[in-house]
Amino acid sequence: MTINKEIQDKTMTLKLAGRLDTTTSPELEEELKASLDGIEDLRMDFSELEYISSAGLRILLAAQKTMNKQGTMSITGVNDTIMEIFEITGFSDILTIK
Amino acid sequence: MGNQEEKEKKIRGGIIAQVAVLFLMGTFVIGLTTFFFEQFVSEGTVKSQLSSMLDSIAAEVIVTVDEYPANEWLLDYWYENADEMDIEYDADYRPGTETEKKAAQFTQEHPDIQIEYATTEQITSLSAEDQKLYAEIVYSWLITRINEIKRIYDIDFLYCVLTDDTYSYQYFLFSAADEGAKRGTEFEEVYPIGHVVQVDSDELKNGMRTAAKTDGFLTPTGKYRDYYKYLNDVAGQTALIGVSYDTSRMMDRVNRQTVKDTVNVVVGLVVLAALCLLLLLVYVLHPLRKIQRNIRMYTKNKDREMVTSNLRELQLVNEMGQLSEDVITLAEEIDNYLEEIQTITEEKQRISAELSLASRIQADMLPSSFPPYPERTDVNLYASMTPAKEVGGDYYDFFKVDENHIALVIADVSGKGIPASLFMMITKIMAENAVTVDSMQSPAMIMEKLNEQICKHNKEEMFVTLWLGILDLKTGRVAASNAGHENPILKQPGGTFQVLHDKHGFVLGGMEGIKYNEYEFMMEPDSKLFLYTDGVPEATNENNELFGMDRLVDTLRDAQDETPEGILNAVNNAVEEFTGDALQFDDLTMLCVHYVGDQNS
């Protein structure tokens, strides 16, 4: 998986590509832990993300909880496979998916 | 070992042989160079040695001549009267010779004159007859004496010549000959008195001139090397002593000298080379072998203390000493490393043992005796869990809520390994408690309570997807709630397996205060319900393709008439066939219920 990070002022955009699963999610967790401070608008671009596992969902949930306290978080470009996972797990209810 | 020793011998021979070959080649080249250089040098050396030897021979002849007080008169007389003189060339002091008789006669007639010490005055006062007698005696004696000089010094010719300022001829006054040698006028014969040889060679003329004017001179070429030294002036001419030495004999001396010098150098080099090889053997190869032996010993039995004391006892100096210290250090490092590895291995084995124990405990937590209700004919079910690692986060569960209700649970904890398995155990206990504490609760209420309980003890932000259904065995009615879990797949009698798109709530433990939906569906008698975790549809093959819902439903339909156990086996086989050798990351957990219904009704 690759993570492309762009920070402008208080807006951070993370563009993910590949698979977000048990082996790759610690990478995203580190990235968020390191740079989420002071961010008020977190945008995640999933247009090149192929798959997300429960380990990846856990990271999204943690990020969503953090952003609930300091601003907003939104996800764009979700493909059908991932959308189905979001729906099955009920994540579609708590995430802002555009 | 045999092979190793053989190899070692070969290698050791190699070093000595390599160095020896190098030395041999060097010796050969140096020997050759020395030979040519020495040839050049020794020619000069031999020439100068020869020159000084011939000079001293000539000097000796001159002294011999000068010993006669009347020598000047004698030289003149011999020259003037060469033709009249009656000469005996080979008298050689022998008794009974003409010369002895002449000497006896002369002494008898002139008892006052000693022949050897006669002065010019004494001789000139004698009669012409006696003067001739005297000159003949002394000439014969002189020949005898220079014959002796020639013999002692082993030279080829020794003579006295007269020449003038043109140096164009040589008049032979006297010459030495070996005993019995023929006197004659041919080349290489010993010339008699009065023989004249024409001189054409400028080299020879030049040599004679140099000898006459300044010093002795050795001619540089020719079959013979001639050395000339000034004797006296005789009758307006110059008398020179000539000594000839065969050039080939001289060259023999040069060659002998060259060979001798070359042999000396080569022998010196060989001795030096042997010494170097010996030192190499003593200071390098021998210690190296000892170190090698110790390294092998260490390799074999890992006894560092012994190797260390062995190597220290050798007390090696130079680089070999450093090498042996390095070997000791290396052995220490290896020992430390081995210890470390042993500790790590023990730790690993302990962890592995604990993990497999944990795995067994986890498996034992799940109901595993099938059929679970052998006395009941109205329901049959089968379940399996195959963790991807030793322990996983999936689980299935079923238990009686009361006599007519069975709770069915399938769940998947986020993450993997020990953390997931611990969380799974807690969830399993909490869920069973939440269901059995009050049989009248609705599934949605149970989910909400369960969510609150899990959230309360969830600092690590783990979550679990869980499907809960309560089957009424009398009616086949199922009251269910889904917290973020995969859709159940249901087959009604007369139909095929179909995915049940139920209402989904959020995962358990994700967020506090979530409300859950519940729903109901009927299982007609002979219905089958298939529950599973995402490990099944998300099983991946080597091309990174997912097994997927379509393949899952197809497999179920193909096996729809089998028992629950048969259906699970069919799915397992299909997944295994699909994934092949690809490593699986997710647990494979399934539960299948066959609701037979009341066969009596």
Domains and CATH numbers, chain A: 2-94 (3.30.750.24)
Mean pLDDT of the residues in chain B: 87
- B254/A23 Cα distance (integer angstroms): 92
From the candidates A25, A58, A59, A66, which should be mutated to test the interface with B, based on the most B CB atoms within 10 A?
A: A58
Q: Residue B284 carries which DSSP code?
A: I
- What is the pLDDT averaged over residues A28-42? 88
Determine the pLDDT at residue B508. 92
- Whole-number Cα distances in Å, B311 to B303, B320, B364: 12, 10, 59
Q: In this complex, which of B416, B461, B504 lies closest to A22 when CB atoms are compared?
A: B416
Chain B's closest residue to A54, CA to CA, is B414
Q: Do residues B203 and B219 make contact, with C-beta atoms less than 8 angstroms apart?
A: yes
Chain B's closest residue to A55, CA to CA, is B415
- Whole-number Cα distances in Å, B528 to B92, B398, B557: 154, 15, 11
- B253/B50 Cα distance (integer angstroms): 10
Chain A residues whose C-beta sits inside 8 Å of any chain B C-beta: 21-23, 53-55, 57-58, 61-62, 65, 87-91, 93-94
pLDDT at B565 over 90: yes
B247-271 pLDDT, tens digit each: 788 788 788 888 888 899 889 988 9
B370-595: which CATH topology?
Phosphatase 2c; domain 1 (3.60.40)
**Who's near B8: CB < 8 A, 6+ residues apart?**
B292
Determine the pLDDT at residue B513. 86
Number of H helices, E strands in chain B: 14, 17
B412 touches A: beta carbon within 8 Å: yes
pLDDT at B93 over 90: no
**Who's near B512: CB < 8 A, 6+ residues apart?**
B451, B452, B455
Q: A88–B487: do the CB atoms touch at under 8 Å? A: yes
pLDDT at B600 over 60: no
Q: Where are the domains of chain B?
A: 15-251, 370-595
ipTM confidence score: 0.84
B55-64 pLDDT, tens digit each: 899 999 999 9
Q: Do residues B159 and B172 make contact, with C-beta atoms less than 8 angstroms apart?
A: yes
Residue B383 tokens, joined: 């379940």
B277-333 pLDDT, tens digit each: 898 888 888 888 888 888 898 888 888 888 888 888 877 778 888 888 898 899 999
Q: B484–A88: do the CB atoms touch at under 8 Å? A: yes
Work out the number of other CB atoms within 10 angstroms of the CB of residue B342: 10
- B127/B107 Cα distance (integer angstroms): 14
Please report the sign of the dihedral spanned by the C-alpha atoms of residue B319, residue B324, residue B329, residue B333: positive
- What is the pLDDT averaged over residues B442-464? 89
- Whole-number Cα distances in Å, B470 to B371, B462, B519: 19, 26, 11
Percent of chain A's residues with pLDDT above 70: 100
- Whole-number Cα distances in Å, A91 to B73, B423, B451, B586: 152, 20, 15, 20
- Upstream peptide bond of B95 is cis (omega within 30 degrees of 0): no
B465 touches A: beta carbon within 8 Å: yes
Mean pLDDT check: name the lowest of B57-71, B132-146, B177-191. Answer: B177-191
Contacting residues of A for B414, CB less than 8 Å apart: 54-55, 57-58
Question: B291 CA to chain A: closest CA distance, Å?
Answer: 49
pLDDT at B16 over 80: no
Determine the pLDDT at residue B269. 87
Q: Which residue has the tokens 């090397």?
A: B225
Q: B486–A88: do the CB atoms touch at under 8 Å? A: yes
Q: A90–B504: do the CB atoms touch at under 8 Å? A: yes
Residue B207 tokens, joined: 């040599």
Q: Do residues B467 and B488 make contact, with C-beta atoms less than 8 angstroms apart?
A: yes
